Chains A and B, each alone.
Chain A
Amino acid sequence: MLTVEGLRSRYGRIEVLHGLDLEVSSGEIVTVVGANGAGKTTLLKCLSGTQPVSDGTIVFRGESFASVPAHKRLKRGLAQSPEGRQIFTNLTVEENLRLGAFLFTDERVDRDMADAFAMFPILKEKRNLAAGGLSGGQQQMLAIARALMGRPHCLLLDEPSMGLAPLLVAQIFDVVKSLKERDVTVLLVEQNAYGALKIADRGYVMETGRITMTGAAPDLIADPRIREAYLGL
């Protein structure tokens, strides 16, 4: 579904991704774990087109993304729930969701909205409130729900657990796991390596702009180097 080869990206003169290879197959949950500053968010921004790529290729469902601008990537089936949620704070919860389906005007929009409310009942309660007033966890739910409203084949999730209470983290991870049944492929970027690897099929470990290790998620959890460096076990 998604193939990344030799991806490089820079902020000004400082290169933060030094030639990165990554592959996500249809129906998988793949996670990229790594410490703060490893370049995980930059990777996702390159994929969604909001950060320029200086070298390498991104191929999504057989099509090169080199000349596809950010706003056309959702139409191709790639959605992102960005770092820091990035919801539309001065619009209502419902308006946020409706805008998630900006590309669509058919009756499925209403069904998808009902689905989103079923997935996160708290959003239904607050549907007419400004999204900026939601708590961090609720904003995260809204960000994920909004991304799903775009009917993606593949969802990029950036640090959904960041800053949330453990109970909420578990709830969010449950939802991510359930996306499999909806035929949504997931690329999940996380600092919470244990939580992410537990729900993922495969994982990549990222350090200072490079992939240093990859494998099936259970193998990575069992790997002594990972256990020491990322899981604190």
Chain B
Amino acid sequence: MDALLQFLFSGLTVGAVYALVALGFTIIYNASDVVNFAQGEFVMLGGMITVFAFEAGLPLPLAALLAILVTSAIGVALNKLAIEPARGAPVVSLIIITIGASIVIRGATQLVFDKQLHRFPSFSGDDPIHVLGATILPQSLWVIGGALAVFVGLWIFFTRTLTGKAVLATANNRVAAQLVGINTGWVMTLSFGLSAAIGAFAGVLVTPITLVGYDVGVALALKGFAAAMLGGMGNPKGALLGGLLLGCFEALTAGYLSSQYKEAVAFIVILGVLFVMPQGLFGSKSTERV
């Protein structure tokens, strides 16, 4: 029982990170039907920039803020320099562009920073909190809380604000969106900026636990993608739940089977979802009359 709880705690922590990556996918996907595989690099940038700003002498909160702003700017630049010029290209081409962008970002990070693993101190110390015989790190609570906060924010954004609706409308029908006065170019800029900011935020939260290096983004993008698929692409609720579930699956697999199988879980989830319910847990089936 204690072991199970311990596994669930670590699963929820990792899952919250996957959820944050998946939430980042959600925005860009909702605006453009594109799955942005550079999302993992945004997480990595958030961690790396914070590390180096912190070591350069900035206080941690300021370093984190700087990292989020810079990463957000990089997201906007990705849209302006790579996605916008290819407007009108099929979605698959755009997705491949994001894969290319992730390789470029990774390479540039190696050059600008380094190839070492880094961390900075936890926000509230490293003394584990004891709960019913299991322990959880205070930083884990930060990660889980952060994921919940971003989820609530996005949920309100997409269901309660006109700007959020404009993002959904742009994805659904770009021409019609322009006809009702929505600046669709601006919607894309907003989505990339916001997604990158959320990614960087995840990087800031998780670095004290998992460490950060130039190449941590690849695995995160993949896991986040699996989480988003499991929950239903484009749905914030699905992204959150998909991420937490995937994290728990991984932790339970590592705990009860073998940690060697842990990495396979994400792939099994992707395959399972594609075979059994391609729209995911919360994805809406598209029904259209002609």
Binding site for B on A (CB under 8 A): 48-50, 69-72, 74-75, 79-80, 82, 86-91, 95, 98-100, 102-103, 105, 130, 132-136, 139, 146-147, 149-150
Chain A contacts for B173, CB-based, 8 A:
86-89
Contact with A along B163-188 (1 / 0, CB 8 A): 00110110011011111111110000
Q: Does B56 contact A (CB under 8 A)?
A: no
Question: Are A95 and B165 in contact (CB-based, < 8 A)?
Answer: yes
Given A50-B178, A86-B175 in contact, is the A136-B289 Cβ separation under 8 Å?
Answer: yes
Chain A contacts for B287, CB-based, 8 A:
130, 132-133
Question: In whole angstroms, what is the CA distance A83 to B64 when docked?
Answer: 49
Question: In whole angstroms, what is the CA distance A82 to B177 when docked?
Answer: 11
Chain B contacts for A48, CB-based, 8 A:
179
Chain A contacts for B286, CB-based, 8 A:
89-90, 132
Please provide the 8 A-B residue pairs with the shortest distance between their CB atoms, ordered closest to farther.
Answer: A86-B176, A70-B178, A74-B181, A132-B288, A71-B178, A103-B181, A88-B172, A71-B183
Give chain A nearest CB distance to B237 CB in angstroms. 16
Chain B contacts for A98, CB-based, 8 A:
162, 165
Question: In whole angstroms, what is the CA distance A72 to B184 when docked?
Answer: 11
Total interface residues on B, CB under 8 Å, equals: 23
Question: Are A74 and B179 in contact (CB-based, < 8 A)?
Answer: yes
Given A132-B286, A135-B289 in contact, is the A82-B176 Cβ separation under 8 Å?
Answer: yes
Q: Which of B168, B178, B183 contacts A91 (CB 8 A)?
A: B168
Q: Does B284 contact A (CB under 8 A)?
A: yes
Question: In whole angstroms, what is the CA distance A86 to B168 when docked?
Answer: 14
Question: Are A70 and B165 in contact (CB-based, < 8 A)?
Answer: no
Give chain B nearest CB distance to A24 CB in angstroms. 18
Question: Are A50 and B289 in contact (CB-based, < 8 A)?
Answer: no
Give chain B nearest CB distance to A74 CB in angstroms. 4
Question: In whole angstroms, what is the CA distance A79 to B178 when docked?
Answer: 10
Chain A contacts for B183, CB-based, 8 A:
71
Chain A contacts for B284, CB-based, 8 A:
90
Question: In whole angstroms, what is the CA distance A39 to B289 when docked?
Answer: 26
CB contact list, B136-179 vs A, under 8 A:
162, 165-166, 168-169, 172-173, 175-179
Residue on B nearest A92 in the bound complex, by CB: B165
Question: In whole angstroms, what is the CA distance A6 to B238 when docked?
Answer: 53
Given A82-B176, A88-B169 in contact, is the A71-B182 Cβ separation under 8 Å?
Answer: yes
Question: Are B176 and A134 in contact (CB-based, < 8 A)?
Answer: no
Question: In whole angstroms, what is the CA distance A50 to B176 when docked?
Answer: 10
Question: Are B169 and A133 in contact (CB-based, < 8 A)?
Answer: no
